[in-house]
Amino acid sequence: MKIVYIAGPYGDAGGYLAIDRNIARARDAAAWLAEHGVGFICPHLNTAHFEAIVPGAPVEFWYAMDLVIMAVADALLVLDGWVNSKGTQAEIAEWGKTGRPMFYDDYDREMLLEWATP
């Protein structure tokens, strides 16, 4: 089974509700992958609203943890809004060093399925 890491904006200047929308967008991508038999890692779901649960944890902690988790994935799926997300940009930069496939949500879903499914 191929495993896809879902990279996309989490934090937002819009506060809790904007973060909730970002989590929902990532959850929808994860559901789409599961519906098509593609494994996934979704950090948005792994740490949903931990900014409220563990407010003292610095953002660098989350970034570092995500990079470790990302290392086991076979491909990266980049969600919309990445251009305005420091964390997603860091994930893309790190991923670019691996030579593994990267897909953009709006454009590459069919290509991702062709790559991931026999």
Would you state the pLDDT for residue 39? 97
Ramachandran angles phi, psi of 112, nearest 5°:
-60, -45
Cα gap 11→77, rounded to integer Å: 18
Instruction: Tell me if 102 is assigned to some domain.
Output: yes
Tokens encoding 42: 């979704």
Low-confidence ranges of the chain (pLDDT < 70): 12-13
**Cα 52 to the center of its chain, rounded Å:** 20
**91 near 76, Cβ under 8 Å?**
yes
The total number of structural domains in the chain stands at: 1
Task: Print the domain residue range for 72.
Answer: 8-110
Would you state the pLDDT for residue 117? 86
Instruction: Tell me if 79 is assigned to some domain.
Output: yes
Would you state the pLDDT for residue 105? 87
